[in-house]
């Protein structure tokens, strides 16, 4: 007697495989509305019409046989007959979500390519109907070359038909035990075919559905999509400067007012200096960037809520693949625009260890929000607030260029790493695209409040602490009349010693000094400069002056540009190094990261300085 024949349920996560399995076998597997519920193989008995019993296997959902995560590997191994000596299934029951047909057809083709007897369960037709989709199972069957049975697993609809189709496929398998593999398509070819097959199978759809599909046709278009994404980002950085300016000016004026108030109300002395130079100039100099941060995150949250962000990941996938990264790195890298720490933690979703390591190593190159105050103050000080080519603000343009420099830097580094220390193959990536939605104001407001609070809390804690320490080091020992306070102070001595190394790349002494406390948090560079200049001025009216004006009068343009270039690359953040150590289980990679980032920062700041000087800027 032969072992019982075997059928396996395969398909994308959340297609309803386990729901079908339960309905067909009477089992009680866990089902839930998110991908990745089933993570191991489960078997049950299915009684065919003839009374014959076969074994039915429920498998974890999978996007591809190029398995990347451990649960997908179970599916791949079992289907290929490599699972703990178990033979490959005789019949494949491919479960597709009718409401997400196009996405599900990508993996479907890979399954059908195997050339085994296959039956498609076109599941969730109830949801498709609710969405205003009318499907043609016969057209789908024709396009795929395998039988298609519409089902609603949770209402037990189409089960008899599905069982009959499985029985007939099983009979075919009995008659001819050989697989007849079909030509192998590449991932982009499969995506294209998926779109065409879905188009052929969809008879009609409601207007919203059509609108959304139309939106996707434009936003995900291989040529239109990237420029649209690029243009959108461009507008965002214009807005960060243009819209924030009145608010930032208001906050700056407030800080000036406050300093004036303290100057009149508090008797002259160390305590007054501490308040005006350390707290108001230093910490206040950072807080004025709150409007910029809020505007940037308003855009990011909006892109996330509408469903556009997932599309951006999709668009970026190709570009990332060309440097040896997969689209899976997109979300971790995107989070790194807020802060590299959650970004590095998000790499846990990347299954391939080398993919993951590469992503960790380049995460600090994404421009985190802590750099925004540094960029903001230097740009406002040295880049004229003018329009170029008609309507484009030059300041926003420079900010955009700095973000792009970080991204391009990351891509180049990824390319080099993937050819050397983290050499390996990039894996494919498919993501389910969420439906378009209008953002809910309440969620947006909560998200913004959280970001603003994180920023203010940093200002009140780590930035405040670092600024106080720096102020003390700048203030003592006190200079005799005629001496410069900066020259005499402990901090000044440190700065002078360090300056030897940074003079060649155009840094002045105050900038060099700012690099040290900025290791605690990048924003402290701003606080540090503000405090240094406040301490360094004799005249108390000048302590009320905004840092922007101090920089404008003291720095040359090449020096300022070199400082910006430094902050694009430099690993100015100890917490990031600490997280990288934890996530890579050792010091090797964080030390590597530190070394390569400092080297890049130094070289690029130098190139920037010398190029700008040569150009006579
Ligand atoms: N409306 C409707 N919901 C369904 C249907 N089939 C499954 N569902 C629901 O879809 C969700 C996913 O079903 P599962 O059976 O867990 O999906 P799965 O394919 O096993 O997913 P993974 O185990 O993650 O691969 C559950 O909430 C089910 O209740 C259907 O035909 N119609
Ligand atoms: Mg399941």
Q: 71: Cβ–Cβ under 8 A, 6 or more apart, which residues?
A: 36, 38, 39, 40, 60, 61, 62
What mean pLDDT do residues 562-576 have?
93
Q: Is residue 151 part of a domain?
A: yes
Element of type H or E holding 598: helix 588-614
Mutational pocket test of ligand 1: of 11, 14, 59, 161, the residue with most ligand atoms within 8 Å of the beta carbon:
14
Band of the pLDDT at 514, cuts 50, 70, 90? Answer: very high
Q: How far is the CA of 59 from the centre of ligand 2 (A)?
A: 7
> Which atom of ligand 1 lies at the shortest distance from residue 22's CA?
15
Q: How far is the CA of 108 from the centre of ligand 2 (A)?
A: 16
Number of domains in the chain: 2
For residue 123, list its beta bridge partners: 97
Identify the CA nearest to 128 among candidates 435, 413, 395, 415.
Answer: 435
Contact predicate 329/350, CB 8 Å? yes
pLDDT given for residue 39 in this prediction: 67
Collapsing DSSP to helix, strand or coil, 404 comes out as helix
Residue 187: CA count within 13 A, CB half-sphere: 16
> Which atom of ligand 1 lies at the shortest distance from residue 95's CA?
19
Res 534 pLDDT > 70: yes
Q: Is residue 301 part of a domain?
A: no
Q: Is residue 266 part of a domain?
A: no
Q: Is residue 310 part of a domain?
A: no
Which residue did the predictor score with more confidence, 48 or 430? 48
Q: Is residue 359 part of a domain?
A: no
Q: How far is the CA of 183 from the centre of ligand 2 (A)?
A: 29
pLDDT given for residue 209 in this prediction: 77
Ligand nearest to the CA of 95: 1
Q: How far is the CA of 159 from the centre of ligand 1 (A)?
A: 15
Count of CB atoms situated within 10 Å of the CB of 581: 16
Least confident segment among 129-133, 278-282, 553-557:
129-133
Q: 541: Cβ–Cβ under 8 A, 6 or more apart, which residues?
A: none
> Which of residues 187, 205, 223 is at a domain's end?
205
Ligand nearest to the CA of 36: 1
Percent of the chain with pLDDT over 90: 46
- List, for residues 467-511, the tens digit of each pLDDT value: 999 999 988 888 888 788 888 899 999 999 999 999 999 999 999
Q: What is the pTM of this model?
A: 0.66
CATH of residue 51's domain is 3.40.50.300
Ligand nearest to the CA of 74: 1
> Which atom of ligand 1 lies at the shortest distance from residue 152's CA?
31
> Which of residues 205, 232, 262 is at a domain's end?
205
> Which atom of ligand 1 lies at the shortest distance from residue 61's CA?
25
Q: Is residue 21 part of a domain?
A: yes
Distance CA 122, CA 137 (A): 8
DSSP code at position 66: S
Ligand nearest to the CA of 37: 1
Measured CA distances, 74 to 69, 70, 255, 459, 508 (Å): 9, 7, 61, 48, 59
For residue 202, list its beta bridge partners: 135
Identify the CA nearest to 140 among candidates 99, 101, 186.
Answer: 101
> Which atom of ligand 1 lies at the shortest distance from residue 19's CA?
15
Percent of the chain with pLDDT over 70: 94
> Which of residues 205, 239, 258 is at a domain's end?
205
> Which atom of ligand 1 lies at the shortest distance from residue 39's CA?
23
Angle 415-417-423 from CA coordinates, rounded to 5°? 100
Q: How far is the CA of 34 from the centre of ligand 1 (A)?
A: 8
**Highest mean pLDDT, choosing among 41-45, 208-212, 361-365, 366-370:** 361-365
Q: What range does the domain containing 84 cover?
A: 6-205
Band of the pLDDT at 440, cuts 50, 70, 90? Answer: confident
- List, for residues 126-172, the tens digit of each pLDDT value: 888 877 888 999 999 999 999 999 999 989 999 999 999 999 999 98
Identify the CA nearest to 9 among candidates 58, 47, 42.
Answer: 58
Distance CA 617, CA 615 (A): 6
Res 540 pLDDT > 90: no
**387-388 and 392-393 as β-strands: parallel, antiparallel, unpaired?**
antiparallel
Q: Which residues line ligand 1 (CB under 6 A)?
A: 13-19, 31-33, 35-38, 60-61, 123-124, 126-127, 152-154
Least confident segment among 345-349, 448-452, 610-614:
345-349
- List, for residues 191-214, the tens digit of each pLDDT value: 999 999 999 998 887 787 788 888
DSSP code at position 370: T
What mean pLDDT do residues 233-247 have?
86
Q: Is residue 355 part of a domain?
A: no
- List, for residues 180-195, the tens digit of each pLDDT value: 888 888 888 899 999 9
Mean confidence (pLDDT) of the chain: 88
Q: Is residue 119 part of a domain?
A: yes
Res 548 pLDDT > 60: yes
Res 603 pLDDT > 80: yes
pLDDT given for residue 529 in this prediction: 92
Q: How far is the CA of 12 from the centre of ligand 2 (A)?
A: 10
Mutational pocket test of ligand 1: of 153, 157, 432, the residue with most ligand atoms within 8 Å of the beta carbon:
153
Band of the pLDDT at 1, cuts 50, 70, 90? Answer: very low
Mutational pocket test of ligand 1: of 19, 74, 78, the residue with most ligand atoms within 8 Å of the beta carbon:
19
pLDDT given for residue 111 in this prediction: 95
Res 105 pLDDT > 60: yes
pLDDT given for residue 425 in this prediction: 67
């Amino acid at each position: 007697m032969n072992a019982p024949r075997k059928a396996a349920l395969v398909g994308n996560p959340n297609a309803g495989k386990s729901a079908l399995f339960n309905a067909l076998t009477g089992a009680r597997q866990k089902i839930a509305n998110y991908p990745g519920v089933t993570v191991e193989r489960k078997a049950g008995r299915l009684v065919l019409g003839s009374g014959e019993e076969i074994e039915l296997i429920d498998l974890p959902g999978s996007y591809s046989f190029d398995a990347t995560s451990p649960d997908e590997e179970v599916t791949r191994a079992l289907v290929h007959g490599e699972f703990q000596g178990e033979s490959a299934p005789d019949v494949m029951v491919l479960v597709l979500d009718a409401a997400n047909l196009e996405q599900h057809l990508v993996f479907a083709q890979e399954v059908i390519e195997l050339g085994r007897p296959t039956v498609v369960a076109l599941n969730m037709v109830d949801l498709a109907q609710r969405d205003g989709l009318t499907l043609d199972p016969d057209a789908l069957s024709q396009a795929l070359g395998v039988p298609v049975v519409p089902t609603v697993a949770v209402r037990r609809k189409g089960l008899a038909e599905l069982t009959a189709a499985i029985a007939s496929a099983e009979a075919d398998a009995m008659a001819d035990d050989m697989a007849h593999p079909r030509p192998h398509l590449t991932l982009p070819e499969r995506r294209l075919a998926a779109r065409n097959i879905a188009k052929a199978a969809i008879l009609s759809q409601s207007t919203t559905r059509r609108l959304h599909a139309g939106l996707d046709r434009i936003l995900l278009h291989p040529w239109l999509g990237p420029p649209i994404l690029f243009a959108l980002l461009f507008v965002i950085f214009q807005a960060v400067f243009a819209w924030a300016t009145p608010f930032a000016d208001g906050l700056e004026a407030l800080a000036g007012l406050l300093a004036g108030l303290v100057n009149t109300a508090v008797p002259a002395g160390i305590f007054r200096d501490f308040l005006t130079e350390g707290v108001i100039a230093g910490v206040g100099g950072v807080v004025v960037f709150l409007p910029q941060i809020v505007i940037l995150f308003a855009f990011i949250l909006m892109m996330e809520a509408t469903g556009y962000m997932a599309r951006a990941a999709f668009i970026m996938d190709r570009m990332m693949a060309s440097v040896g990264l997969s689209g899976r790195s997109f979300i971790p890298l995107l989070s790194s625009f807020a802060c590299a720490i959650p970004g590095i933690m998000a790499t846990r979703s990347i299954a391939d260890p080398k993919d993951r390591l590469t992503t960790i190593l380049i995460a600090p190159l994404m421009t985190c929000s802590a750099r925004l105050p540094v960029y903001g103050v230097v740009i406002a000080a040295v880049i004229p607030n003018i329009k170029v080519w008609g309507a484009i603000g030059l300041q926003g343009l420079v900010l955009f260029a700095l973000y792009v420099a970080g991204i391009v830097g990351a891509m180049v580094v990824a390319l080099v790493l993937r050819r050397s220390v983290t050499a390996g193959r990039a894996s494919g990536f498919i993501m389910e695209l969420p439906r378009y939605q209008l953002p809910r104001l309440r969620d947006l407001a909560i998200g913004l409040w959280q970001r603003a609070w994180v920023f203010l809390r940093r200002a009140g804690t780590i930035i405040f602490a670092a600024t106080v320490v720096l102020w003390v080091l700048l203030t003592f020992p006190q200079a005799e009349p005629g001496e410069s306070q900066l020259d005499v102070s402990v901090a000044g001595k440190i700065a002078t010693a360090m300056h030897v190394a940074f003079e060649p790349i155009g840094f002045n002494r105050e900038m060099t000094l700012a690099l040290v406390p900025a290791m605690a948090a990048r924003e402290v560079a701003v606080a540090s400069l503000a405090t240094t200049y406040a301490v360094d001025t004799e005249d108390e009216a000048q302590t009320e002056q905004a840092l922007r004006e101090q920089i404008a009068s003291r720095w040359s343009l090449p020096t300022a540009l070199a400082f910006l270039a430094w902050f694009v690359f430099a690993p100015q953040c100890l917490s990031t190094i600490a997280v990288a150590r934890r996530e890579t289980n050792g010091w090797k990679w964080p030390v590597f990261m530190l070394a390569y980032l400092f080297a890049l920062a130094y070289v690029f700041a130098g190139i920037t300085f010398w190029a700008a000087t040569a150009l006579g800027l």
